[in-house]
Chains A and B, each alone.
Chain A
Amino acid sequence: MKRLITVLLVFLPLATAHATSVEQRGLEIAKEMDQRDLGFADQVAELVMILRNKQNDQSVRKIRNRTLEVQGDGDKSLVIFDSPADVKGTAFLSYTHAVKPDDQWLYLPALKRVKRISSSNKSGPFMGSEFAYEDLTSQEVEKYKYKYIGDEKLDGRDVFVIERYPQYSKSGYSKQVVWVDKAYYQPLKTKFYDRKNSLLKTLTITGYKQYLNKYWRPSKMMMINHQTGKQTELTWSHYRFRTGLTSRDFDRNALKRVQ
């Protein structure tokens, strides 16, 4: 018995040290990803979302995204819906925060009504797609705890594999496994595990291009839901940076004149 305790006393600190180091390493990678993305000021992009069910029925959504970088807090973002035609002109404004809940408003053009909405909807589908709200909001470092798993090769590229565990409430995930490109410090693949810890979705991100000699942005994201067989393809295009957007372009007055 005494020997066992001695063994534990000798090895426990080592085990703890190891645990700390994989968590530390995971956090370092996440911080580096965040660090390399700083300073873009603002970004605009156009998105086409194609929803496919198991029978291969398709429906298409067109949206535009405007993001404003905020120093010391989460980004501000504006999502403008262009199609389907019945939701044209609808706009979604979000002020993201690292730990406290995001502030969100929805603009309903038929009523000219700006509605403050709850940001508790994390796991629900965005526009009927396989992307949840939490998959598309600003990925602040503090939103997760991390663990470094190892190094791998993915489609010929060197990657880190990390696991991350959502720290915000109402997440639909117990964990995410992320394959991070060592050169871009951007995710190439993410596996999402549901609250029962079974594999729910796989996201594959391709077509990275560098902008302003610094920022890597993808052209395609494919989300496959393994439990329903549905999939959503998200194509990004027309990226522009430092277009001169200010916080006035992300207030409730601006919501009423998005076009």
Chain B
Amino acid sequence: MAVGNPFTVAAVVVMLAAVGVNVSAADLSGYVATEWRDFVHDALADPQDYRTGVSLSVNPELVSSWRQDKRQIRFSPFVRIDTHDSERSHADIRELSYSHALREWEWRVGVRKVFWGVTESQHLVDIINQTDFVEALDGEEKLGQPMINAAWIKSWGTLDFFVLPYFRERPFAGSRGRLRVNPPVDMKNVQYESPDKEKHTDFALRYSHTLGDWDLGLAYFNGTARSPRLIPQIQITGPVLIPYYDLMQQVSIDLQATKEAWLWKLESIYQHRDIESYAAGTGGFEYTFFDLSGTGMDVGLVCEYLWDDRGAKTPTPFEDDVMVGVRLALNDAQSTDALIAVVKDRHSGQALITVEANRRLTNNVKLGLEGGFFSHIHADDVLGSMRRDDYIQVEFAYHF
């Protein structure tokens, strides 16, 4: 198994940490979920000859903590089994790490997940972990990243140093999968700019601080780009896309001002690759009407502008788009909530509409509803290959 090495190292580090310590109280939690997904239309390509799919996922987490949580071991594997797409059926170690908190320093070693950023519509600044696109289109599901991370915590802010010794390839849906690019990505022929390929060591540095109403993050990253260029190639089996991972450097800022019920948000990156340099950003606000007319219900409005200075050449769908969303939280005993969002291109009128809602049915069972709708998407657009993939999804998750 190609990913064996760093994961073995992580496992050894974690086990060494456990040795000599009485790790008696390990805490198990997590979920098992079944998902039913129904596509509204027949697909574009022949291999995608189904409309309904079922899949099963499991994500347990084992945590052992001592000395008031200042020493901690976490292990969290993830497995999904999908009825149609062999690439969506996948397993990953989301977390296998040891953390050690001192007065001014925190050391975290192993496979971990790190989140940076403030905006809702896309996560430009969030660069450490690879996005697990077969899990969700919103970019919020991530693969575990092997790392050594030291955080230096001072009164003037926190400085985080990252050494990332191993790169994780981005998962793409297989030829039978829906919600994929066309032609499909050939995951067996991945190319890298670096001769070290996936063993290239990446570095990152992040400064973060809170000053009153303001939360600020500044970051620098040097290493393998998380998003590959997709290069068309003709093989015996037909046309495919080959992922090519450039080396890149990126600086970023994320900023939030929290002014009573207003959250003002900005994320911006400047990225340099040998083939191109570009800037991109997301900015906007979220305003919440708390306890609307004494009902206990919260209604939030989210509005963000998404831009990328590569214009029409932008490989993501978001080069000049506006996102408008409504968030609803009933704050009832079942924690019912919903989010409806539309991301619309300002010029072409192409739009992506997403709906999600959650409700706790029993103490352990949670119902999740999700829908994705592609409106007026042109055949030659980045999302063109998904224009017939409108779907609705129902998930029952048992949490323990």
Contacts and interface: CB of A to CB of B under 8 A. Distances in A.
B208 to A, nearest CB: 8
Contact of A85 (B151, B210, B400): B400
A89 B76 CA distance: 14
Contact of B363 (A59, A89, A172): A59
B298 A112 contact: no
Given A86-B366, A118-B261, A253-B101, A113 B331 contact: no
A125 interface: yes
Given A89-B29, A259-B27, A259-B72, A128 B140 contact: no
Contacts of A84: 360, 363-364, 399
A177 interface: no
B196 interface: no
A252 interface: yes
Given A84-B360, A86-B360, A121-B298, A128 B331 contact: yes
Nearest to A66: B68
| Of B256, B258, B260, B397, most A-chain CB atoms within 10 Å | B258
A78 to B, nearest CB: 11
A194 B69 contact: no
A29 B31 CA distance: 50
Contacts of A87: 335
A173 B397 CA distance: 38
Interface string B251-262: 000001010111
Interface of B: 27, 29, 31, 63, 65, 68-70, 72, 99, 101, 103, 106, 113-115, 118, 140, 151, 153, 158, 208, 210, 212, 215, 256, 258, 260-263, 288, 290-291, 294, 296, 298, 331-335, 360, 363-364, 366, 397, 399-400
B364 A257 contact: no
Interface string A223-259: 0000000000000000000011100110111100111
A104 B332 CA distance: 21
Contacts of B72: 257, 259
Contacts of A120: 260-261, 288, 290
A253 B106 contact: yes
Contact of A88 (B260, B261, B262, B399): B399
B363 A83 contact: yes
B258 A128 contact: no
Interface in A41-66: 51, 53, 57, 59-60
Contacts of B114: 112
B331 A125 contact: yes
Contacts of B65: 257, 259
A170 interface: yes
A85 B399 contact: yes
Contacts of B331: 124-125, 128
Given A249-B68, A257-B101, A128 B332 contact: yes
Given A60-B363, A120-B288, A257-B101, 10 more contacts: A51-B333, A84-B360, A85-B400, A87-B335, A111-B140, A118-B261, A122-B290, A122-B291, A123-B294, A128-B335
Contacts of A169: 260
Contacts of B399: 84-86, 88
B360 A257 contact: no
A123 B106 contact: no
Closest 3 CB pairs of A and B: A85-B399, A259-B65, A121-B290
Nearest to B261: A120
Contacts of A114: 115
Contact of B263 (A59, A85, A116, A172): A116
Contact of A123 (B113, B290, B397): B290
Contacts of B212: 103
A116 B363 contact: no
Interface in A85-121: 85-89, 101, 103, 111-114, 116-121
A121 B364 contact: no
A251 B397 contact: no
A117 B262 CA distance: 9
Contacts of A113: 115
Contacts of A59: 333, 363
Nearest to A115: B118
A8 B391 CA distance: 77
B153 A251 contact: yes
B94 to A, nearest CB: 10
Nearest to A84: B363
Given A103-B210, A121-B290, A116 B215 contact: yes
Contacts of A254: 69, 101
